[in-house]
Each structure stands twice: as C-alpha cells, then as structure tokens.
C-alpha cells in the first residue's frame, strides 16, 4: 500500500497539463485555413440524438466536432487544453479556468465566460452529471476566467469536463433546435435517422479539417453498413463488429483500428447468498481466474480483433502505473490443483464436488447486451469444464433485466463490456466496486453489494479521489485495480477492445480515438 | 351502411381502454427504470443518482402507477399521448411522422404480393399439376422459407453491390423504398399464393362453375367474374390481416434499410421502457387494425352482393 497524498498544498498546485505549452495545444496553429473541397461520406450507427431539453450534445458522431469542451481527452486518455487555456486549483475544491480569447461560435458570437457559465448551469439543471456541479458552482471572474466549485468535492473535475457531453454552447442556445458550437465543423443539414451533413468551419480557431464536408449516414444494421461500403454508398464505416472485420478486407476495403478504449470482463459475486455463494470461496475465484485462456477467447470469439485484457480500464489511462497491475496468467493445471487443495474433488460427469455440492456456477450474460458478448459465454463454459467447473449461462434480453438480476444478486459470474470516455481512471472502479454507503448512488450500491472487495480497495479509491497530481491518481487507480484483479480476484479481465473502421480506397487517412464519443474528424483526409 | 360503420367505430373506445390498460400494466411489470435507461442512452454512460432523480421527476415517474395511468388516460382522451421518455418528442407527433413511412413500404409490399400471388395462384389452380403449378409451389416455398433479413441482404447484394442500381439504405428518395417494399412483398406473397390456389380450386369445382362452363361462358369471364370474385372473400380477409401485420411487424426490414418507420420506433421503445411510446403505439396500431378490418368488412359487400343485400 502506498501513502496517501494528504500533505500536498492544493492551493498552490497547478496541474501540469494545464500550465505550460498551452498556445500550441493539439498541434493547432490558431490560424484558420481555406476549407478543402474534398468531401466524405461516413456510414455510422443508429441515430440516437435527442431533440428535447436533454439534447445529448456529446453524442457520437453527431456533435463531437460541432461543439468543443474546455479540455481535450487525447487518444491515450490524458487531458490537454482546448477551449480552456489553463486551469489551477485555487481553493480546496475550486478550479479557476482561463479561457481562450480568439474563439467565436459558428454564428459569430464570441466565446467567453458567459457561455461557459450557461453551459455548466445547463448540466447542473439536469442533475450535475459526474462533475457534481449545481447552479451555484460556476462563477464568472472576468470575461475569460471562470471558477467552478463542485457541490461535492471533486478533484477529478478537469479529467471529466472534457467529455463531449460537457461541451460549451452559446448563451441561450437550445441544442434541440440548432447546433451551434465552436468546433472545426458546422452543421449543414440534419435529417433525423437518415443523415447529418457538416462542413468545415472557415473561421475555426485551430487547424483546419482535412475535408470540406462530411455526410454521416445512419445504418443501424452493421451488415447493411458493411454492404453500403461495398456498394460505394459511403467511403468509411464506423463500429465494424469484431466478428465481421474479416469481411471488410474480403470486400476490398481497408481495416482501420485504434488504441484500446473498451473492455470485456467477468465479475465474481463475492457476497452472494446460497445458491450464488460459491464466489465467496477464494480458491474458487482463483481457480476460475487462471483457467481462462484469453488468447483463445480473442481468436475464437473475436477473430483476433481484440487484445488480452490486463486491467478493466484501458491500460493507457494508467500511464506508467500500468505495470502495477496485470491479469492472472492462464494455468489450467494450477487451477485444478487449487481446487483439489480446497477439497473440490472430481464428481459425477467430471464436475467437481465438495460436501455433496457440485461446483456449478451461473454466469449472467451480460452488460451492455448479451449480443455484445458473442460466443464468449460458451467458450468460457468449455474452458471451465476443463478444470471440472460447470457453468450455466443465463442470457438477459436487455440492460434493465440484467440490472434487475444484479439487484438481487442472482448469479455467480457477471459478464460485462464497458468503455472509458473521460480521463478519470477511478470512475469505473469507484462506481462498480466501492463499498456501498447508506443513501449512496443506487447503481454503486447495486454493484457494491455483489462485488465490493472491502477496505483495501476503498483506501486506494479514497487516495484516487483526494490526489491532485495525475501520476498519484494513476497509481492509486492501478493499486485499486490490483486489489480486485490479483488480490481478491473479483474481476477477471478478458479482452481489451479497440474500435474498428472500414475504409474504401477513397480515404487517405483517419486517426482513430480510443473512445468513440471523443472521435474528432479533423484528421480525415481523402485520396486525390 | 353508415350505422354499421358508426357501430364499428364505437367499438374503438373499449378496445382503446382495454389495450392501453394491458400495455401499461405489462410495460410497468417489466424490470427497469425508464429514467435510468433513457439517461444511459442519451449520456452514453451510467447516470448519477442525482441525474436519475432529476429525470424521474421530469418524467413524472414518482407518482404511483394507477395515478400515472389515469393521468395518461385523461390526456389521451384529449389527443395527448404523452412525451416519449426516449426521444423527448410528443408520442403522437412521432407516430404520425413515422406511420406514413411504414404505410408506404407496407402498401407497396402488399400491392407487390397481390401482383405476384394472385395471378400465379389462379394459374396454378387452373393448370393444376402442370409446370406452372410446380413452379408456383416452388416460388411459394422459397418465399415462405426465406427470412426477411436474408431476402433483404440478397436484394442489397444484387441491386446495390452488384448492379449499383439502388442505394443500400436510407429514406430520402423513392429508390430507397424499393428494396424494403420488395422484401415485405416477397414475404407476403408466399402464403397468399397458396391460399389463392386452394380457394380457386375449391371454387372451380362448384356446381355453378360447371353450369356456367356448360352454358358455354367464355373461360376468361368464367375465371375473372365468377371464380376469382368468389375466391376474393377469404383472400381479402387474409390480405387485411397481412397488411396489418406488415404495418406492425416491419421492424427487421426497417432496421436493415434504415427506414424510419413505426416498427423500429416501438422496438427501441420497448428496450428503453418508454412507456408513453409503447402505449401510444398500441393505441395507434389497435385503431389501425380495427379500421383495416372495417375496410375489409365493407369490401365484402362490394365483392359479394349477397352480403350487401343481407346487411340491408
């Protein structure tokens, strides 16, 4: 265990990323260029944009390039200045943010502190989000300086504020009616569920986009999306299912992959009541964790289009602290021995037994949906059978049914997929595995009741919440992950997922972001 | 006739109340908090407790279920079917906006099914056990055994990928409607073709057909005016049911072809526990079913004068 960072004087600390080198952020030159003539057509998933007061302005791919946030989440999950030039912690929980002064919205309105105040208050009116802000949190200091004080201590504010959901709108803009931001693209036409067309913003404060116009066409069905690429209806398709990736190349298109930004993992219910109490036994958890052959899962279920999972969250977000955590190594012989030593002997049908009870586990498939996990449950079933552990697979039709089952803890293993979309490495571990507190977040309570490993984990999460320096946060997150993966074996990482796109020969370049919602299209260039 | 129509329309009221109550009860019995699900979708992450609480308040989900139902019913009587939890749009507006799209492809699909099934069914009956009968049987078998998603992909591969004649998916031009309509039409034609054949065979064996033939009636007149017309009563019943089924069940076709119809709207609503949309859809489709049946019933009178006379 490491020391907590209580001795740091927060008032005088600057976040390293916010202090220096701000003028040349993201390689931008702050000079707008003439918009290039090339245009691109991109096939994307279903249109899920809400056109009401809860308009989801960060929804990929609609608005991530229309609107901009105060900071930018880099593909390796670090934060860099965007509309904010710099930031510092001036009081124990107050962030002072200095804004760029050369920015205008697409309608010519100048970007300033009023816009930030309006945008933050809009978030506050909908519950404050993960930023934990209320209507009094954002205070204008001058035209280009604001102070934000979350209603609950939140030192991770700047890592979270870059999420596109927290983008900055001009004062009084209702994004359900019109979408006017500061981003490199501006809206041309939106036909719900059909297409969304944007063009390069000629007055953009940063580096000009590589194409003059992009039309996003919505294809909810992934096979239809692939066929649209094959037919030449689009130049690029996003979110190619891992199982279909080989078809992209077979169709003569190019497969483009990004860094890992999502994961698949199993969680052991360690507080379950009979008959879901087998996970309370450490030997069972240990044996299961080393009986999983991740390489086989990746090759068979995902056709090689994933990486072996080492942590739950993307490794890059942990920086150099990633070396502090690793997944248990595949060793079926050791798994068998562990069970033998614990008194689980081979019984009828090859399934181990102890005191007349068979070692049959129930796996709940899964979160987000059962379909997200393909044939993984069946593979796990076969792998566990090799060591004498039975696995019953329960498919839940949707998230709500999955969560209802989790509420009552009816299951031993829980198969989940998730993604990391902001720069706070402790968000997911904290949400899922912290010990529940009375009156706490219902979701956290639901997960914690089944999975919380206890004091050692909570201590690392507390360090993570209280640390100011990025490195200290990363280290605390890695140590917390180490507890749930290697010490308590609550989490069994399976795969790290990266995003996959398919491109026709018309596409020259596109840099993929690890997180879909943070994908920027400025790097897209077309051949010729 | 007017009294008959009014009588059938009055049936709508208990039907509306009954199906709305069933829909509301079933929707509320299924697990899941609509506020959380709507937020998960719109935020792309797990909502916080504060966000969920704010959304529940905004959606009026904190009231007891019976109060919510009666509030909804009171609004529904005035034509307000509520606001979708999922999209934030008025339910009636969404249904009215989407319904014509489904009507387009279902209507075109039905016409196509009629154009394929009735001539082939009649010919198969007239030339029983001939090559055309065998061909029509194979066509019907294929149509019935091919799932609609498979037909859809085959059509895309042929007309979009291979021939480049039609766009894969979308809804902005009339060309976009061709493949969804054909997919629905092929699926609908198979059973219709077999039904036409069997009904036609039965009719052709009736005494009055034999009498007409013995009197030297021209075979085309015999087929069209006497045999086919009498066959149309059961066929029109099935057509009505088939059309109603196409309106409510075009979800797979709508998803593959990105066609913004009513089927996909309601399936998304079910997954997101969007109660107002589910209830609105049930009311809307219940009304559509009843009206289609009414039109079919009225059509009987046009097809068979005996029914018209009996109603007087």
Neighbours of A92 (CB within 10 A): 10
CB-side neighbour CA atoms (13 Å) of B120: 23
Q: What is the pLDDT of residues A215-234, one digit of tens each?
A: 999 999 999 999 999 999 99
The answer, for B172 touching chain A at a CB cutoff of 8 Å, is: yes
Rounded to whole angstroms, the Cα distance separating A271 from A453 reads 9
CB-side neighbour CA atoms (13 Å) of B82: 26
Among B40, B47, B258, beta carbon nearest to A193? B258
Q: Considering only residues A69 and B15, tell me which one the structure prediction assigns the higher pLDDT.
A: A69
The per-residue pLDDT for A77 is 92
Q: What is the pLDDT of residues B52-107, one digit of tens each?
A: 888 888 788 888 888 888 888 888 888 888 888 888 889 999 999 999 999 999 99
The per-residue pLDDT for A228 is 96
Residue B1 has pLDDT above 90, yes or no: no
Among A128, A163, A219, beta carbon nearest to B258? A219
A215-226 residues labelled b (16+ CB within 10 A) or e (exposed) = bbbbbbbbbbbb
Region B196-202: mean pLDDT is 91
Q: What is the pLDDT of residues B231-257, one digit of tens each?
A: 888 888 888 888 888 887 788 899 999
Q: Give the gap in angstroms from C-alpha B98 to the nearest C-alpha of chain A.
A: 11
Q: Are strands A39-44 and A213-218 parallel, antiparallel or unpaired?
A: parallel
The per-residue pLDDT for B179 is 96
Q: Give the gap in angstroms from C-alpha A348 to the nearest C-alpha of chain B.
A: 37
Residue numbers in A near B37 (CB within 8 A) = 399-400
H, E, C per residue of chain B: CHHHHHHHHHCHHHHHHHHHHHHHHHHHHCCCCHHHHHHHHHHCCCCCHHHHHHHHHHHCCCCCHHHHHHHHHHHHHCCCCCECCCCCCEHHHHHHHHHHHHHHHHHHHHHHHHHHHHHHHHHHHHCCCCHHHHHHHHHHHHHHHCCHHHHHHHHHHHHHHHCCCCCCCCCCCCHHHHHHHHHHHHHHHHHHHHHHHHHHHHHHCCHHHHHHHHCCCCHHHHHHHHHHHHHHHHHHHHHHHHHHHHHHCCHHHHHHCCCCCHHHHHHHHHHCCCHHHHHHHHHHHHHHHHHHHHHHHHHHHHHCHHHHHHHC
Q: Which residues of chain A have pLDDT under 50?
A: 1-33
Q: Nearest-CA residue of chain B relative to A123? A: B51
Q: Considering only residues B224 and B95, tell me which one the structure prediction assigns the higher pLDDT.
A: B95
Residue B3 has pLDDT above 50, yes or no: yes
The per-residue pLDDT for B229 is 84
Rounded to whole angstroms, the Cα distance separating B254 from B101 reads 10
DSSP letter string, A31-98: ---PPPS-EEEEEES------STT--TT-TTTSTTTS--SEEE-TTS-EEESSEEEEEEEETTEEEEE
Chain A to chain B Cβ contacts (< 8 Å): 140
What are the helix (H) ranges across A292-369? 294-296, 332-341
User: pTM of this prediction?
Assistant: 0.85
The per-residue pLDDT for B310 is 60
Task: Please judge whether A127 and B47 are an interchain contact, meaning their C-beta atoms are less than 8 angstroms apart.
Answer: yes
The per-residue pLDDT for A352 is 97
The answer, for B132 touching chain A at a CB cutoff of 8 Å, is: no
Task: Please judge whether A398 and B170 are an interchain contact, meaning their C-beta atoms are less than 8 angstroms apart.
Answer: no
The dihedrals phi and psi of B55, each to the nearest 5 degrees, come to: -70, -40
Region B131-136: mean pLDDT is 91
Q: What is the pLDDT of residues A356-403, one digit of tens each?
A: 999 999 999 989 889 899 999 999 999 999 999 999 999 998 888 898
The per-residue pLDDT for A9 is 38
Largest CA distance in chain A: 77
Mutate to test the interface with A, among B147, B160, B258, B262 (most CBs of A within 10 A): B258
The per-residue pLDDT for B271 is 81
Task: Please judge whether B37 and A58 are an interchain contact, meaning their C-beta atoms are less than 8 angstroms apart.
Answer: no
Q: What is the pLDDT of residues A513-527, one digit of tens each?
A: 999 999 999 999 999
Q: Considering only residues B274 and A108, tell me which one the structure prediction assigns the higher pLDDT.
A: A108
Neighbours of B187 (CB within 10 A): 25
Length of chain B: 312
Residue B299 has pLDDT above 90, yes or no: no
Task: Please judge whether B42 and A400 are an interchain contact, meaning their C-beta atoms are less than 8 angstroms apart.
Answer: no
The per-residue pLDDT for B311 is 56
Q: What SS3 state is found at A456? A: helix
Residue B18 has pLDDT above 60, yes or no: yes
The per-residue pLDDT for A28 is 40
- What single-letter DSSP state applies at residue A323? G
Region B112-131: mean pLDDT is 91
ipTM > 0.85? no
Contact between A379 and A297 (Cβ < 8 Å): yes
The per-residue pLDDT for A10 is 36
Distance of CA A194 to the CA centre of its chain: 27
Rounded to whole angstroms, the Cα distance separating B156 from B184 reads 14
The answer, for A59 touching chain B at a CB cutoff of 8 Å, is: yes
Q: Are strands A345-346 and A352-354 parallel, antiparallel or unpaired?
A: antiparallel
The per-residue pLDDT for A222 is 92
Q: Give the gap in angstroms from C-alpha A125 to the nearest C-alpha of chain B.
A: 8
Q: Considering only residues A3 and B20, tell me which one the structure prediction assigns the higher pLDDT.
A: B20
Q: Which of residues 106-145 of A touch B (CB under 8 A)?
A: 125-130, 132
Q: Considering only residues B44 and A416, tell me which one the structure prediction assigns the higher pLDDT.
A: A416
Mean pLDDT over all residues of chain A?
A: 89
Q: Give the gap in angstroms from C-alpha B46 to the nearest C-alpha of chain A.
A: 8
What are the helix (H) ranges across A143-252? 157-160, 222-231, 245-250
């Amino acid at each position: 265990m490491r020391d907590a960072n209580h001795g740091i004087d927060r008032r005088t600390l600057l976040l390293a990323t916010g202090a220096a080198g701000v003028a040349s952020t993201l390689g931008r030159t702050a000079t707008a260029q003439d918009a290039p003539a090339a245009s691109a057509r991109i096939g994307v998933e279903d249109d899920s944009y809400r056109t009401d007061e809860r308009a989801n302005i960060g929804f990929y791919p609609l608005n991530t390039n229309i609107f901009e946030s105060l900071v930018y989440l880099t593909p390796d999950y670090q934060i860099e200045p965007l509309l904010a030039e710099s930031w510092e912690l001036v009081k124990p929980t107050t962030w002072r943010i200095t804004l760029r002064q050369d920015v205008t919205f697409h309608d010519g309105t100048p970007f300033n502190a009023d816009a930030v105040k309006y945008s933050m208050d809009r978030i506050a009116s909908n519950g404050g989000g993960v930023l934990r802000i209320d209507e009094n949190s954002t205070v204008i200091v001058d035209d280009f300086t604001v102070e934000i004080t979350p209603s609950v201590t939140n030192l991770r504010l700047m890592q979270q504020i870059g999420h596109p959901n927290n983008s900055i709108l001009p004062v009084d803009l209702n994004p359900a009616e019109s979408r006017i931001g500061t981003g490199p693209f501006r809206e041309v036409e939106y036909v719900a569920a059909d297409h969304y067309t944007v063009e390069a913003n000629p007055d953009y404060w940063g580096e000009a986009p590589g194409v003059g116009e992009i039309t996003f066409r919505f294809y909810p069905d992934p096979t239809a999306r692939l066929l649209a690429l094959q037919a030449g209806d689009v130049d690029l398709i996003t979110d190619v299912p891992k199982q279909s990736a080989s078809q992209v190349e077979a169709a003569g298109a190019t497969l483009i992959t990004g860094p890992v930004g999502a994961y698949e993992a199993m969680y052991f219910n360690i507080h379950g009541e009979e008959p879901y109490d087998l996970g309370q036994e450490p030997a069972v958890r240990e044996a299961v964790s080393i009986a999983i052959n991740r390489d086989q899962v990746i090759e068979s279920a995902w056709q090689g289009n994933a990486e072996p999972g080492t942590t739950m969250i993307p490794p890059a977000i942990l920086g150099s602290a990633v070396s502090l955590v690793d997944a248990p190594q595949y060793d079926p012989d050791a798994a068998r021995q562990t069970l033998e030593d614990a008194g689980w002997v081979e019984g009828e049908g090859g399934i181990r037994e102890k005191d007349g009870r068979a070692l049959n586990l129930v796996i709940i498939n899964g979160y987000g949906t059962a379909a997200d996990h393909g044939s993984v449950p069946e593979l796990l079933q076969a792998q566990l059978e090799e060591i004498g552990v039975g696995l019953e697979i329960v498919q839940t039709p949707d998230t709500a049914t999955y969560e209802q089952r989790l509420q009552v803890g009816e299951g031993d293993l829980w198969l989940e997929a998730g993604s990391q979309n902001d720069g706070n490495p402790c968000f997911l571990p904290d949400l899922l595995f912290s010990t529940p507190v009375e009156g706490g977040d219902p979701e956290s309570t639901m997960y914690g009741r089944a999975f919380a490993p206890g004091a050692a984990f909570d201590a690392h999460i507390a360090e993570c919440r209280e640390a100011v320096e990025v490195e200290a946060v990363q280290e605390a997150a890695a140590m917390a992950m180490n507890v749930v993966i290697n010490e308590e074996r609550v989490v069994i990482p399976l795969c790290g997922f990266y995003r996959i796109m398919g491109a026709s020969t018309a596409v020259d370049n596109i840099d993929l972001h690890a997180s879909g919602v943070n994908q920027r299209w400025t790097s897209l260039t077309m051949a010729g | 006739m007017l009294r008959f129509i009014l009588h059938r329309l009055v049936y709508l009221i208990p039907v509306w109340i009954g199906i709305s109550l069933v829909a509301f009860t079933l929707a509320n019995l299924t697990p899941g908090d609509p506020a959380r699900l709507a937020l998960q979708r719109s935020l792309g992450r797990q909502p916080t407790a504060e966000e969920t609480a704010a959304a529940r308040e905004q959606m009026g989900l904190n009231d007891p279920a019976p109060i919510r139902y009666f509030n909804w019913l009171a609004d529904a009587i005035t034509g307000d079917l509520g606001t979708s939890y999922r999209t934030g749009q008025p339910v009636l507006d969404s249904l009215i906006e989407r319904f014509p799209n489904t009507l387009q492809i279902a209507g075109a699909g039905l016409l196509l099914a009629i154009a394929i099934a009735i001539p082939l069914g009649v010919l198969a009956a007239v030339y029983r056990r001939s090559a055309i009968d065998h061909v029509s049987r194979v066509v019907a078998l294929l149509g019935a055994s091919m799932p609609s998603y498979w037909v859809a992909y085959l059509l895309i591969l042929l007309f979009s990928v291979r021939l480049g004649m039609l766009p894969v998916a979308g809804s902005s031009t009339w060309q976009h409607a061709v493949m969804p309509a054909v997919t629905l039409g092929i699926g609908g034609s198979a059973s219709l073709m077999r039904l036409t054949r069997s009904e036609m065979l039965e009719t052709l064996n009736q005494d009055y057909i034999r009498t007409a033939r013995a009197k030297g009636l021209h075979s085309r007149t015999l087929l069209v005016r006497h045999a086919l017309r009498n066959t149309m009563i059961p066929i029109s019943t099935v057509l009505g049911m088939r059309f109603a089924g196409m309106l409510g069940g075009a979800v797979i076709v709508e998803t593959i072809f990105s066609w913004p119809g009513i089927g996909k709207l309601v399936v998304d609503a079910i997954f997101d526990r969007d109660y107002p949309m589910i209830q609105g859809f049930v009311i809307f489709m219940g009304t559509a079913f009843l009206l289609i049946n009414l039109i079919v019933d009225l059509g009987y009178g046009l097809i068979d004068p005996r029914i018209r006379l009996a109603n007087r």
